[in-house]
Every structure is written in C-alpha cells, then in structure tokens.
Chain A
Amino acid sequence: MKIDKQNLKYLAELSKIELNEKSEDKLLKDIQAIFDYFEELKEVDTKNIESMSGGTIEKNVFREDEFMGAGTSRKLIDAFPEKENGFLKVPAVFE
C-alpha cells in the first residue's frame, strides 16, 4: 500500500487534525514505513478464523436501564469550558 500526500491530507481531514506543512513529509515517511511493516500479515493464513475484538471473556454485559442518580453530573457541567443554563455551549453546527 502506497500512501501519497493526497491520501495523507484526506486522512487528516477525516481525523479532524490540521497538519502543518513542515511536518507532513516526515509524517508521510513514517506512516509509509509502518505500512510496509504491516505487509507481513499477508502471509498469515486466516481462513475460517473468527476475528477477536478483545477482552478476556468475550460476551456482552447488560444491566437494567435504570436511573442511577445524578452522581457527578453537576461537577461535569461545572467543568464545561463554556456553558449556558446547564448546557454545554457549542458553536452553531449548521450555518
């Protein structure tokens, strides 16, 4: 897999990260080297192997959907950088 500057810019856009021009070349080179390393996985036969999404005990955990008390919510709201009437203030999403 070859990554070019165009790919990199697109990925940065998806990641919502502004890249600075100076570090782009180095980032591209490093990411390319890491991708080249991944090539070795192609030689592993994974036919009929179930993918493993992690954890020790792979089963879902459920709980009753009950109100558990406000707990820390007041403190969380207090910690918002900008707030209004107990809500997190954000810029307009639609212009």
Chain B
Amino acid sequence: MDLKNLTIKKFHNGLANKDFSAFEVTKVFFDYIEEKDREIGAYLRLTKDLALSQANKVDIELAKGKELGILSGAPIAIKDNILIDGEPATAASKILGNYRASYDAAVIEKLKSAGVIFLGKTNMDEFAMGSSTENSAFKITKNPNDLERVPGGSSGGSAAAVASDMCVAALGSDTGGSIRQPAGFCGVVGLKPTYGAVSRYGLIAMASSLDQIGPIAKTVEDAAILFEAIAGKDELDSTSIDYKYKIQDTKYKIQNFTIGLPKEYFAGGLSKEVENGIEEAIKNLKSLKIEFKEISLPHTKYALSCYYIIMPAEVSANMARFDGIRYSRFLNLKSEILNLKDIYLKTRGEGFGEEVKRRIILGTFVLSSGYYDAYYIKAQKVRRLIKEDFDKAFKEVDVILTPVSPTPAFKIGEKTKDPLKMYLEDIFTIPVNLAGLPAISIPVKKYQDELPVGFQLIGKPFHEADILGIGKHYEQLAIKND
C-alpha cells in the first residue's frame, strides 16, 4: 500500500471500494510507524489496542452494509495534550508522566462517533510551550525533510507524523502558532480555527483566552473535512459558539476576492527562502484572479510583548492545578511525610521543565500587586488595539496573507539557549491568536529536496470557508502545474 500521498479522501475511496479493510490499513500503519518513527520520533505512544478495536468496528459496520462517513476508519494522530479516555496523556511533561485520562475530549468524542481510528499520541513542547518540540520532557522530534532540523512546535509531533506519512492527518493545538508554524516547517497544511469554533473541553489548557484545537493534514481539503467534524457548540466549553462549518465545494467563488498584504509583516527580517516562497504564492494566487492590496496593521510590532504578558499570566493560573496532589504523582512522596507546601514546591520544581517554570514565574509577576496595571492591563489594552487593526483591515479586504515564520525550519539546538530568539519565531502567528481569528498555513508548493516554506491566510472571524476556499483553489493550481 502506498502511504505516501494517502489523504483522508483517497483512504475513504479505497475503503468504500473494498480495496482494503480498515484493520489491514491500521496494521500497515503500525508496521510502518515502528520502522519510520525510530528516525523521526513523532509519537510519544501508540494506542494500538484502541486503534485495532476501532478498525474492527468499522469493518463490521462496512460488512453490514452501513454507509461509510467520510472519516470512517481514517487513521489519525492526536497531540498528547488532548485526552482520550483510558489512555495516558502527559502533554510531554514529567509532572503528568503517570496520568491517564478519565474521559474523552469533546473533539475525540466527535471523531470517535465519526469512526476515526486513533493511532497514537504525538510529541510536543511541554504543555504546548515552545516552537520546536525541543521542550518535550521525553524526546526530540526531527523534521522529516531534514533530520538535523526541528519540526517546529509545539505540535511538532503531529506535523512530523503527517509529513512522514505515519498517519493520514492529525490534531494539534494552537495558542500562538503551534499548529501553523510546525505545519509550515514540515510542508503540510495546518488550520487554527476562530476562537470559539472548536470546543477545548478535554484539552490540557495552556492560555485559555488563546488556545484552539485544529487539524494538521496533507491537503486543504482534508483539513476542511476534519474541521467540519470537530467544530461546533459544546455545553462544556462556554467559549464555544453555535456555528457549523459546512465544507464548501470546489466551486466556492473566490474571484473578486481581495487579499491584503500588511506592510508591517514584510518590513525586513525575512529569510531569502521565505521571501521567495511568499512571492511565488502571491504570483500563483494572482493567476486565480485574486486582487492584492497593501494594508497596514500598525500595532503588529507590539504583539510579541503583548502575548508574552497575557499568555504567561494565563499559564500561571492554568498550571496551578498541577500541584502533586491531584492527577498523578510522579515523585514518590507520601502525604504523611511532607507538609502540603513541600509537596507543591518539590513536585513543581522537579516536574516542570525550564520553559514552563519561566512562564509561570513571568505570569506570576505580571499579575502580582503593584505590577498588574503596568503590565497585564496594559497588555490587554494593546491586545484591543491589535484586534482593532484587523477589524479595520477587514473592511477593505476579505483575507490577509502573511509569512508563517521568518525562516524555514532551523537546526536542532540552534535556539534553545536564548528564549527570546525562540519567541521571535512566532512573530507572524501570534497576532492572529490575540485577535481570535482563523488562519491557515499552506505549503507554497510540493517540496522535494529543499526546506518547505508555507504562507499564512488569515480570515475574518468564523470565515474559515474563505481561507479554506482559497486554499483549495491554490492546491488545484499546484496539481495542474506539477
């Protein structure tokens, strides 16, 4: 079986035509993963028993003549901060090393009822804090396009698994670029939905006013299929909105669309590869009769500072629950021996990695009395200005195009010593989270021997159809040019 280029769509057709059974395909995937993942390190754990029993169920239904849904039997990988009932979920942190989920995340419940098969849990930066997956407490994941380079992060395991054909698609989470940047680095498609489009119930929270779950896939079409399956209102996440995305057919009209190019995103600092890639993407889009217009998002420059105040503030609150008392204990501390405070101090001191500790301490500072107004409230006001920049721009244009990151995938170890350097990786993706907008990262072309470059399309709130629509047309163009 050809796992290369196996998309959700192709898999579905093969299963419907009885070219293979779901069980067979699942086994082929596990055989392949066992060999390939020694080199890549995308998975933290495989969920074999679960996957094979899910596959069996799909085959039985198929034999009974039950009509197959588009996602029936599709083998998918899940980022390790999303809970699957009964399976370990560590968020790549030592502190959750022994934790097993007690329930399904809302997105898992939805995918289960759609017949999806879960192959395993993927590596990530600890609690999704990082841009290279090097902050995982357990292992390094390598970029399938160049094993000396990072896959991006924090959903680096999911992106690498998709790019190396170890699943047909995956779920990731995105707080400041954690779906889009690794998708860009690995040459696959990544969608960060509008804040509120997808329920986060069962996602291990990092920064709750920014977090979203979204798909990472080989094609825009597959990303749209997965997004349709996971979107919608959920009583258990009060930020989720009653909004149902319907997959647009390929006739989705994009002529007479205007795409804005924010001048602040092109003001220097882009590597040659990214600059050339973006130029090529724009040229291709122009051939689709899309108009381009220069726009201005004047507060872009402050987005990184704003984010690195708001996000750690929320991190410090969300991480408080990991106290060594609830969830699992990774230190062998008996409550009779130590007092409560010592358990907290020891568990958190040893259980959290450097980046997590750094963010908790930063967040604690910006929320502390005397500094709250100067930092936290100030950042929230700047956040408003950043959002208003987008509101204004979307009066003139339908969609905004930007680079995903300033450079293609960097070398393993290149940025680990200087956190600020790592933070700057997300400079083009962060404003989108602050404003709550949907955005997609799409590879400029099919890459063979070079490092992939992606471009980002940002849409109006709840206008995923616009960016997915343009993306689909773009993809068809690329197929024609091949």
Contact = CB atoms under 8 A, between A and B. Distances in A.
B305 A41 contact: yes
Contacts of B341: 16
B299 A44 contact: yes
A82 interface: yes
User: Chain B binding site: helix, strand, loop or mixed by DSSP?
Assistant: helix
Contacts of B218: none
A44 B361 CA distance: 25
A53 B384 CA distance: 9
Contacts of B309: 38, 41
A33 B302 CA distance: 16
Given A14-B364, A51-B377, A91-B338, 19 more contacts: A15-B360, A17-B345, A17-B361, A30-B358, A34-B419, A37-B305, A41-B302, A51-B380, A54-B436, A63-B235, A63-B238, A75-B102, A81-B325, A81-B326, A88-B326, A91-B339, A91-B340, A92-B339, A92-B340
Given A46-B382, A56-B195, A82-B335, A38 B375 contact: yes
27 contacts: A11-B368, A15-B357, A16-B348, A17-B345, A18-B349, A23-B354, A30-B419, A33-B419, A33-B420, A40-B305, A41-B379, A44-B381, A44-B382, A46-B385, A53-B209, A54-B210, A55-B209, A56-B461, A63-B235, A75-B102, A80-B326, A81-B328, A82-B335, A88-B325, A91-B339, A91-B340, A92-B340
Tell me the interface secondary structure of chain A in the complex: loop
A56 B196 contact: yes
B358 to A, nearest CB: 6
Given A41-B302, A55-B436, A76-B102, A20 B349 contact: yes
Contacts of B449: none
Interface in B245-266: none
A89 B348 CA distance: 19
Contacts of B340: 90-93
A63 to B, nearest CB: 7
B12 interface: no
B348 A79 contact: no
A17 B195 contact: no
Nearest to A74: B102
Q: Which 10 A-B pairs have the closest CB atoms?
A: A54-B209, A18-B349, A51-B380, A46-B381, A52-B384, A61-B238, A75-B102, A18-B345, A16-B344, A56-B436
Contacts of B45: none
Interface string A6-47: 001001101111111001000100110110011011001010
B194 interface: yes
A71 B238 CA distance: 18
Contacts of A70: none
Given A30-B419, A49-B381, A52-B380, A44 B302 contact: yes
B335 A91 contact: yes
A50 interface: yes
Nearest to B436: A56
Interface string B234-250: 01001101000000000
Nearest to A62: B238
A85 interface: no
Interface of A: 1, 3, 8, 11-12, 14-20, 23, 27, 30-31, 33-34, 37-38, 40-41, 44, 46, 49-57, 61, 63, 71-72, 75-76, 78-82, 88-93, 95
A61 B360 CA distance: 28
B174 interface: no
B241 A57 contact: yes
Contacts of A31: 358, 361-362
B364 A91 contact: no
Nearest to A80: B326
Nearest to B346: A18
B387 interface: yes
A54 B313 CA distance: 13
B392 interface: no
B427 to A, nearest CB: 12
Given A19-B349, A54-B436, A27 B461 contact: no
Nearest to A72: B103
B301 interface: yes
B196 A52 contact: no
B336 interface: yes
A75 B102 CA distance: 6
A72 B102 CA distance: 7
Contacts of B381: 44, 46, 49-52
